[in-house]
Chains A and B, each alone.
Chain A
Amino acid sequence: MATKGIVKGIVSNLVTVEVDGPVSQNEICYILVEGVKLMAEVIKVIGAEAFVQVFESTRGMKVGNEAEFMGHMLEVTLGPGMLSRNYDGLQNDLDKMEGTFLKRGDYTYALNNEVKWQFKPLAKPGDIVSAGDWLGEVDENMQPHKIMVPFTFTGNYTVKSVVKAGEYTIIDTIAILIDSDNNEIPVNMIQKWPVKKAITCYHAKPRPYKLLETGVRTIDTVNPIVEGGTGFIPGPFGTGKTVLQHAISKQAEADIVIIAACGERANEVVEIFSEFPHLIDPHTGRKLMERTIIIANTSNMPVAAREASVYTAMTIAEYYRTMGLKVLLMADSTSRWAQALREMSNRLEELPGPDAFPMDLSAIVANFYARAGYVELKNGSTGSVTFIGTVSPAGGNLKEPVTENTKKVARCFYALEQERADRKRYPAVNPIDSYSKYLEYPEFQEYIAEHISPSWIEKVNEIKTRLLRGKEIAEQINILGDDGVPVEYHVTLWKSELIDFVILQQDAFDNIDAVTSLERQEFMLNKVVDICHSEFSFDGFLNVMDYFKRMINIFKQMNYSEYESEQFNSFNLELDELIKEKILK
């Protein structure tokens, strides 16, 4: 007998329900308002009163409205057919909704029960299997989508039968398993999982070490992120957070990209689903949309569903990871999620923490980032969820609770800086404050030495030092004047400007410059470091500036040319000529 309840109080989307039976924390219920069922989640219980947050507008709700409790937490439905879909924060398929405007209480099914999938068995009768083991696979947009033993199954099962290769819908039974009590359990391609729980059907979670290529030089070269790594991008508005995030999601070498638009602009989501169907994945040559899932809870959609949206996205990411795929999850922005928590906490009249955020914000953020990672599956394959979140710090001040708590847990930090953005030095990632902890991982250093070059990390550290030195000299010149410092200082300054203009700055709107292959990044880094190591002769600081400006200009033209094209090579020659002009050794 399901628990039922009656509405007793309403303050915005926080509703008090008097219940007639047991309820659990985070249980889902539906409240009937004007003939429409509105979904809500239990967030606090006192005696027979359950406090629920309604995922929709509560306009017109009355005391006495009936509620029905579902006996489970907020779940997502997992199965083939999620790629290329646009979901809302509760995994409703937005394309299936009718009408221009979102209708309250309009819940649509995330999958399609009629489509037939080409199934190939992977397990055979007699196999001993447990949750997350692969029973078979179907082809979803050229990705091997594994059909797995449902994650909710505990203990070991024996495979009784698996259907033979052929076409099946997701509701057809594809295998029969036998549990320890000899019960036969049919399995189809669909499974459900509560979003707030991590999917942990893997053997181990080692430290990540494989570089995840993004084509963005200030990330790959300077502060690399790895498969299964975590990073975050804080920045005041207008510093290019969204452009950088879109660049990463377009170019990253991942099998699946999940974009959680969490409380952000609807037009940004529109940009993704208008452009991605036409853009080509630089790694596979296929359409970007084929590997992408959008979870859209834009800023005008109900606030309570905003919190759910990041969990929905993470759960889908973990699902694909358990298939042995490389998943990249981007959430823009985690600050909006924290604000949603703050709104609820405020209505619950909880004692506030810093900036009125809930006290457990740091625990919530830490738990969420911990769900990312590189995993070894039980069958020896590996999979990963790489998570990059953006943070929108209030007033651009990085000393605020969301940024500080995220900094404690994310391993890469890409600080977007207003001053760089004002000077149009894009991407406006501050090269001195930003960091990637992975550069210090011995596993990563070994991997890079093998895959790129043994001297790579040393060079990366060198340009970072040079950038810092350049900044120091610029400050000295500001105080002492151009002729108040020796000419060598100007040379050092301009060498760091060279690194900034050639490697850090990148035109995200130019087809060629937007994405730089690793090979090309290595070529450019070597070239720039060689110049930094050279000594030049100058008679006065004015010559230094002129000379390096000419050099930067040629490098820029190279960045705009196809790698190793005739044009590229001729600029390269021009550059060598210019270097010969002034070089001493």
Chain B
Amino acid sequence: MATKAFQKIYTKITQITKATCSLKATGVGYDELASVDGKLAQVVKIIGDEVTLQVFSGTEGIRTNAEVVFMGKAPSLNVGDQLAGRFFNAYGEPIDGGPIPDGKEVEIGGPSVNPVRRKQPSELIATGIAGIDLNNTLVTGQKIPFFADPDQPFNQVMALVALRAQSDKIVLGGMGMTNDDYLFFKNTFTNAGALDRIVSFINTTENPSVERVLIPDMALTAAEFFAVERNEKVLVLLTDMTNYADALSIVSNRMDQIPSKDSMPGSLYSDLAKIYEKAVQFPEGGSITIIAVTTLSGGDITHAVPDNTGYITEGQLYLRRDSDIGKVIVDPFRSLSRLKQLVTGTKTREDHPQVMNAAVRLYADAANAKTKMENGFDLTDYDNRTLAFAKEYSDKLLAIDVNLDTTEMLDVAWNLFSTYFSPTEVNIKQSLVDQYWKK
């Protein structure tokens, strides 16, 4: 970090912990950035003339006589069209060997959109994956995470969704990403010829973990530039938010805060909400859609991170390996897109909502039948038909390798209904049965 002339240099640090250091200083603003022997830090506490700094890259090697310079500004990013196609670190510095982009300097973590200046999201995002488009339709301006175990192919599905969705820009925020995954994204986007519409902020497992707390704000500040200034449709990919939350808990622990559930900070909900709520549809046409990943430990969604996330985001997507067909499917039970009713049946064919519900209901009946079978009970004819239906439904619609448009998906579903059931068993509004039932 270059220092400017006339800046006061402090050289007497009074306290050092693993993530913070304190010193006596005056005229310091809250949230302000500082450099401690060249390491970037931020003001997190001021008591009288004692200022506590959070050192992002950790305090290893910091001396009590380290040079501390306050920069008079909060963390910021130079935004401009030149961001497109570039890779940056958590501080917004290029890591692709290119030049520092020109542009307007904007503080990250800026103010919220006035709710009355938002528009109700209403534009469907087609991904071709029926487990998403049919059962959990996505809409621009939505925020939705994948809840996945670390071994599931969420990054692949996310890259697929990003490339198929008709967005103007894709902003990738990688937190604690393995270098392999980072290269996967880079190669996938390069091979698809999409690199010029992608901006990436990457913190890999090789970088200090506390730096991660800057990634989402960096990514969303870039996204806001394209959505507000250029009226573009921006898709933001954040992977993995659990690593972000872990970084937060480290910081709060070092700040002696009383932890709440699962040793997470009491402010976890607000911290996550501030990020996810940046998803927005503007009346002028620009939008920010956030697709995130929250990795679970052993599928436990009651853990504070997925739990708080679920209350903030507009739904969640689950992946599951279906042993009956040997493929990964989008789980229809726990997955949910809260905004789907804004487009299903209006932007898609009228029978969409009822077909979707009926299919999931029958799939649930199949799950019951399966339990019965596993417990050694006789199956009824209906049970057997639901089991056969479930297998085909899983293979033809839920599997992530499906690529159909929504109308085709509905036709496939009607076909399955008429193959295995009678209209009364399907429980759909009569007028729709009259029109769509395959005889």
Q: State the A residues within 8 Å of B (CB).
A: 8-11, 16, 57-64, 86, 94-95, 97, 99-104, 236-238, 242, 263, 265-267, 269-271, 273-275, 296, 298-301, 303, 333, 336, 339, 342-343, 346, 352, 355-356, 392, 394-397, 422-424, 478, 481-483, 509, 542, 545, 549-550, 552-553, 556-557, 560
Residues of chain B from 260 to 285 with CB closer than 8 A to chain A in the complex? 260-261, 266-267, 269-270, 273-274, 277-280, 282
Residue of A nearest to B316 (CB): A238
User: With A301-B112, A424-B364 in contact, do A265 and B47 touch (Cβ < 8 Å)?
Assistant: no
CB of B360 closer than 8 Å to a CB of A: yes
List the A side residues contacting B364 at CB < 8 Å.
Answer: 422-424
Contacts of B45 in A (CB 8 A): 9-11
B116 touches A482 (CB 8 A): no
Query: Which residues from chain B contact A103 at a C-beta distance below 8 Å?
Result: 111
5 contacts between A and B (CB under 8 A): A103-B111, A299-B312, A300-B274, A397-B302, A560-B429
B220-270, CB < 8 A from A: 228, 257-261, 266-267, 269-270
Contacts of A265 in B (CB 8 A): 277, 312, 314
Interface core residue of B111, B267, B307, B381 (most chain A CB under 10 Å)? B111
- Min CB distance, A157 to chain B, in Å? 40
Interface, chain B (partner A; CB < 8 A): 26-32, 44-49, 74, 107, 110-121, 141-142, 228, 257-261, 266-267, 269-270, 273-274, 277-280, 282, 301-304, 307-308, 310-312, 314-316, 333-334, 336, 338-339, 341, 353, 357, 360-361, 364, 371-372, 375, 377-378, 380-382, 424-425, 427, 429-430
Q: Which residues of B contact A424 (CB under 8 A)?
A: 357, 360-361, 364
| Contact assessment for B266 and A238 in the assembled complex, using a CB-CB cutoff below 8 Å | no
A100 touches B269 (CB 8 A): no
- Residue among B120, B258, B278, B382 making CB contact with A271, cutoff 8 Å: B120
- In the docked arrangement, what's the CA distance between A238 and B424, Å? 28
Query: CA A481 – CA B369 in complex, angstroms?
Result: 11
State the main secondary structure of chain A at its contact with B: mixed
A270 to B139, CA, bound (A): 14
- Which chain B positions have C-beta within 8 A of A346? 257-258, 266-267
Query: Given A237-B311, A238-B336, A424-B357, A101 and B46 touching (CB < 8 A)?
Result: no
CB distance from B257 to the nearest CB of A (A): 6
Compute how far the CA of A557 lies from the CA of B429 in the bound complex, rounded to whole angstroms. 6
From A64, A104, A266, contact of B277 by CB (8 A): A266
**Separation in Å of the B288 CB from the closest CB of chain A?**
12
Given contacts A424-B357, A482-B377, contact A59 B31 (CB under 8 A): yes
Is A102's CB under 8 angstroms from B113's CB? yes
Give min CB distance, A84 to chain B, whole Å.
12
Nearest to A97 among chain B residues (CB) is B114
Task: Provide the bound-state CA to CA distance between A545 and B386, in Å.
Answer: 15
A59: chain B residues within 8 A (beta carbon): 29-31, 74, 107
**Bound Cα distance A514, B370 (Å):** 33
Q: Which residue of B lies closest to A556 (CB)?
A: B427
Contacts beyond the supplied A59-B74, A265-B314: 11 A-B pairs with Cβ under 8 Å: A95-B116, A238-B315, A238-B338, A266-B112, A298-B277, A299-B269, A299-B274, A396-B302, A423-B361, A482-B377, A483-B378
In whole Å, how far is A507's beta carbon from the nearest beta carbon of chain B? 9
- Say yes or no: A356-B259 contact (C-beta < 8 A), given A59-B31, A299-B312, A482-B380: yes
With beta carbons under 8 angstroms apart, the residue of A238, A275, A299, A356 that contacts B258 is A356
Which residues on B sit within 8 Å (CB–CB) of A104?
A: 111
Q: Which of A9, A423, A478, A481 contacts B46 (CB 8 A)?
A: A9
Q: When chains A and B are docked, how far (Å) is the Cα of A524 from the Cα of B386? A: 30
Check A267/B141 contact, CB under 8 A, given A62-B27, A300-B277: yes
Q: How far is the CA of A266 from the CA of B49 in the complex (A)?
A: 39
Q: Give the one of B29, B114, B364, B430 with max A CB within 10 A.
A: B114
B341 engages A266 (CB within 8 Å): no
A100 and B361 form a contact (CB under 8 A): no
Identify the interface centre among B49, B336, B353: most chain A CB within 10 Å of its CB.
B336
One of B29, B115, B260, B282 near A355 (C-beta < 8 A):
B260
Which of B308, B315, B316, B338 lies at the interface centre, i.e. has the most chain A CB atoms within 10 A of its CB?
B338
In the complex the two chains form, is B307's CB within 8 Å of A394's CB? yes
Most buried by B among A267, A299, A550: A267
Complex: how many Å from CA A550 to CA B302?
A: 39
Task: Kindly list chain A residues whose C-beta atoms are within 8 Å of the C-beta of B375.
Answer: 478, 481
Closest partner residue, chain B, to A269 (CB atom): B115
Q: Which residues in A have their C-beta under 8 angstroms from that of B316?
A: 238
B121 to chain A, nearest CB (A): 7
Q: How far, in Å, is A189 (CB) from chain B's closest CB?
A: 25
| B303 engages A395 (CB within 8 Å) | yes
Residues of A within 8 A of B427 (CB): 552-553, 556
Contact B361 A557 (CB under 8 A): no
The CA-CA distance from A396 to B302 in the complex, in Å, is 7
**How far does the Cβ of A327 sit from chain B's closest Cβ, in whole Å?**
23
Q: How far is it, in angstroms, between the C-alpha of A273 and the C-alpha of B48 when the chains are bound? A: 45
Chain B's closest residue to A481 (CB) is: B377
When chains A and B are docked, how far (Å) is the Cα of A126 from the Cα of B209?
75
Top-10 shortest CB links A-B: A395-B302, A299-B273, A300-B277, A237-B310, A481-B377, A59-B31, A274-B120, A356-B260, A60-B29, A9-B47
